[in-house]
Amino acid sequence: MEILGKEPVFREPWHAQVFALAVHLNETGVFTWPDWADRFSQTLAAHGLDRELDGGDDYFTAWLAALESLLAERDIAPPEDVTRLRGAWETAYLETPQGAPVQLKD
């Protein structure tokens, strides 16, 4: 993640999406930012990510893990629902012809 310069702030679209989701959930009162910062710090420690992170996949994978655990703890997104939905998206992605929009089946 680079703030200044010609590179985009987020390297991958999903980095921006998971970041925006956490900000939105905070802004709508699902959790406070101090709660988020505490959970994210715990997740980084659990992942062994105590080195300087550069905003790549390892950072945002930890960001996603922290978000999933916080939402599971509050029974907003139980792990079994997240696993089921992740599997449905993977199936849809793999079955979608290149260039076509990915859509979940009902």
Domain that holds residue 104: 79-106
Average pLDDT over residues 51-63: 76
Total number of domains in the chain:
2
What pLDDT is recorded for position 64?
A: 92
Does 30 share its domain with 68? Answer: yes
Does 33 share its domain with 71? Answer: yes
Does 1 share its domain with 53? Answer: yes
Does 69 share its domain with 84? Answer: no
Does 54 share its domain with 92? Answer: no
Q: Is the pLDDT of residue 73 over 90?
A: yes
pTM across the whole model: 0.75
Average pLDDT over residues 50-55: 61
Does 43 share its domain with 85? Answer: no
Q: What is the DSSP letter of 97?
A: P
Q: Which pair of structure tokens corresponds to residue 25?
A: 């959930």
Question: What totals of helices (H) and strands (E) does the chain contain, helices first?
Answer: 4, 0
What pLDDT is recorded for position 69?
A: 93
Q: Are 57 and 47 in contact (CB under 8 A)?
A: no
Does 52 share its domain with 84? Answer: no
